Amino acid sequence: MKYATQEVIEKATVLFWQKGFQAAGMRDIQDALDMRPGSIYARFKSKEGLFQLVVEHYVENSKAKLNAVAEATSPCTALHSFFTQALINPEEYRFMRQCLLVKSITELDVIGEQGKQAVVEGMAVLQQCFASIVSRAIECQELPTSTPVDLAANWLQNQFVGLRAFALMQHDNAAIATMIDKVLIDLKTQWPINRTLNAH
Amino acid sequence: MKYATQEVIEKATVLFWQKGFQAAGMRDIQDALDMRPGSIYARFKSKEGLFQLVVEHYVENSKAKLNAVAEATSPCTALHSFFTQALINPEEYRFMRQCLLVKSITELDVIGEQGKQAVVEGMAVLQQCFASIVSRAIECQELPTSTPVDLAANWLQNQFVGLRAFALMQHDNAAIATMIDKVLIDLKTQWPINRTLNAH
DNA sequence: TTATGACTTGAACAAGTGTTCAAGTAAACC
DNA sequence: GGTTTACTTGAACACTTGTTCAAGTCATAA
């Protein structure tokens, strides 16, 4: 085995993150991984199979980061710096401001069943992570006990999605920082009456 | 001329909105428009040329809707129902919950220079529309005079983007409605100190 | 030593891609 | 009436797509 699978998946992650599923052609993949088509197919079965592993790897990674935020002594400050790190980074890593999962959602129809499932499940996993952050923040008395956990978790994920799209296009880092500040203000303030009868 | 250009562009809009630029193949376009390749190329020069017109048409449309919100007697309630209409619609039009512009941003690199420019300019136009809504809301005393117009406009556009991604995946309309309520609460509350020295 | 199985190579494949072009139609202008 | 112009047709083009396959490598197990 020329390269360890871990190493290969990391290279593939960068490529899919940058280009997306469709635009990353098998030739691009071959170049990025320095592997010939036969090797790729023997190890990963198909382009979609490789993509699936990439998504799972990405989710695992994000999950670890979000759990670290939840475990921090001050979840809210940790959340703030998590947002900042994810959204304000050097120019050559600008593509990382976009969320791989959200980017994939826009091309869900062309990905195929298994890859699709990996993406959808990944979104659910991350939503759970946001929920534990909110819970822990309440425990630490950084958020009022009245904060609706599931609603706030969904909302936080939303904010993250919106901010990523914003940060992708925005060249003024200060503007991004201001937006992050606004998120943490709104997190602590009033919530609407939840219109959902039974949250699932 | 078999079909009026307006009519053709509307059909093309639906297709690109549903599939995105890459995934919408020329054969799909031919079927959707009921036109042969030669006709399409004679009239629109290329796939990108057609896409460019679609984007411009989409921006024009959105602009009109947003301006109507700004002109309403109560901009805030008009904004609320604009969000609701855009994000909660019948299942067969679910694809419209996604913003065509934002969807295009994720595949900006494969679109080509002219299409790219149309998308980026479109985003700027809509940002301006959001700014006038905020201004008008201040005039109508629905928002405090202290509201930072440009910041709030950017923020509103952001919220819209995040919500569209959320609504696309969410099957519980009540959850979407709750999120919209939250936007209107946050719009009226505290703003962070703007870190940007000179807004551009 | 031989056999197994996971991995590698690179040429080749069928199907799909956006686009072109010669030929035809029909309304508009001189 | 003739020329121009805008549009239409559908076959064909060159290129790219994801994938396959016969053949080869090489470490491990029997």
Q: Distance, in angstroms, between B117 CA and closest chain A CA?
A: 13
What are the residue ranges in chain B where pLDDT is below 70?
197-200
Q: What is the model's pLDDT at position B200?
A: 46
The DSSP symbol for B163 reads H
**A165–B162: do the CB atoms touch at under 8 Å?**
yes
CATH hierarchy code of domain B55-188: 1.10.357
Q: What is the model's pLDDT at position B185?
A: 97
Local mean pLDDT, 10-residue blocks, chain A (200 residues): 93 97 98 97 97 98 98 98 95 93 92 96 96 98 96 95 90 94 96 72
Supply A20's token pair. 């997306």
Residues 84-143 of B with CB under 7 A from strand D: none
- Contact between B101 and B126 under an 8 Å Cβ cutoff? The reply is yes
Query: Residue B15 CA to C8 C1' — how many Å?
Result: 42
Torsion region of A99: left, alpha or beta (phi above 0 gives left; psi -120 to 50 gives alpha): beta
Q: What is the model's pLDDT at position A147?
A: 96
CATH of A54-188, one of 1.10.10.10, 3.40.50.1580, 1.10.357.10, 1.10.1750.10: 1.10.357.10
What DSSP line would sit under A54-77, residue for residue?
HHHHHHHHHHHHHHHHHHSSSHHH
Q: What is the model's pLDDT at position B16?
A: 98
A105-117: pLDDT as tens digits: 989 999 999 999 9
Torsion region of A141: left, alpha or beta (phi above 0 gives left; psi -120 to 50 gives alpha): left
Give the number of A-B residue pairs with CB atoms closer than 8 Å. Answer: 131
Nearest to A165 among B102, B168, B181 (CB): B102
Among B138, B142, B169, B168, residue whose Cα is nearest residue B151:
B138
- Contact between B76 and B184 under an 8 Å Cβ cutoff? The reply is yes
- Contact between B128 and B106 under an 8 Å Cβ cutoff? The reply is no
Q: What is the model's pLDDT at position A200?
A: 47
A92-108: pLDDT as tens digits: 999 999 999 999 998 99
B186 vs A: CB within 8 A: yes
Query: Residue B43 CA to C21 C1' — how many Å?
Result: 15
* Nearest residue on chain A to B121, alpha-carbon basis: A169
Q: What is the model's pLDDT at position A197?
A: 57
